[in-house]
Chains A and B, each alone.
Chain A
């Protein structure tokens, strides 16, 4: 059973387009993280969201935590080829064990 489901699994868009990827859980979680992973590299932390309804912005990336703390979204405005990568959400239960989602593989075509 997958604790975190991400959608879509694959996304291919043209440079300049907007996109949203989703992360959903059947359980409430205390905090959630978003990572980006490029080929041949480990995941890199983008943001941690903690409070229900919280919205965080990182340049062209907007992260939202659902009010019920069971879902999250990542919106990218005016996507660029440098945004290409695998986007992963992850949650921590006790602080020493992290569960990752299935990932969304994004390709931005120049």
Chain B
């Protein structure tokens, strides 16, 4: 059984640029959630995708957007990067019928200069 994988591991961008982060869900999981974790903080929910549709969104501006593909992998896109977007971005997958059990990937560390 393959766990949740994310790419890239680390990324450095400058303010105003755009970034795409990728996540492959665990085998058998059809739900993917994205989180932003600032240094020293708990993860904050960005949004969730279920069967290619957005299924809940946290308090993040529209420049944070996502996609889920037929194989349930997912992308997080952030436009017009700001310095405060520097964080660890975590992806978690789950089976829809077991909503409470999420499995997290190792994250992508984004630094915005």
A contact residues, total (Cβ < 8 Å): 25
Q: B84 contacts the other chain (Cβ, under 8 Å)?
A: no
Are A45 and B42 in contact, CB atoms less than 8 angstroms apart?
A: no
Q: A95 contacts the other chain (Cβ, under 8 Å)?
A: yes
Known interface pairs A33-B100, A102-B42, A103-B42; A96-B107 also in contact (CB < 8 Å): no
The total of Cβ contacts below 8 Å across the A-B interface reads 61
Are A97 and B48 in contact, CB atoms less than 8 angstroms apart?
A: yes
B contact residues, total (Cβ < 8 Å): 27
Are B44 and A41 in contact, CB atoms less than 8 angstroms apart?
A: no
Chain B residue numbers with a CB within 8 Å of A43 are 43, 90, 104
Q: B33 contacts the other chain (Cβ, under 8 Å)?
A: yes
User: Which of A4, A6, A88, A99 makes the CB contact (< 8 A) with B45?
Assistant: A99
Are B100 and A97 in contact, CB atoms less than 8 angstroms apart?
A: no
Known interface pairs A40-B106, A96-B48, A100-B44; A45-B101 also in contact (CB < 8 Å): yes
Chain A residue numbers with a CB within 8 Å of B35 are 100
- 20 additional A-B residue pairs with CB within 8 Å, beyond A44-B104, A92-B100: A33-B100, A42-B4, A42-B91, A42-B92, A42-B104, A42-B105, A45-B101, A45-B102, A45-B103, A88-B42, A94-B56, A96-B31, A96-B48, A97-B45, A97-B58, A98-B33, A98-B45, A98-B102, A100-B43, A105-B40
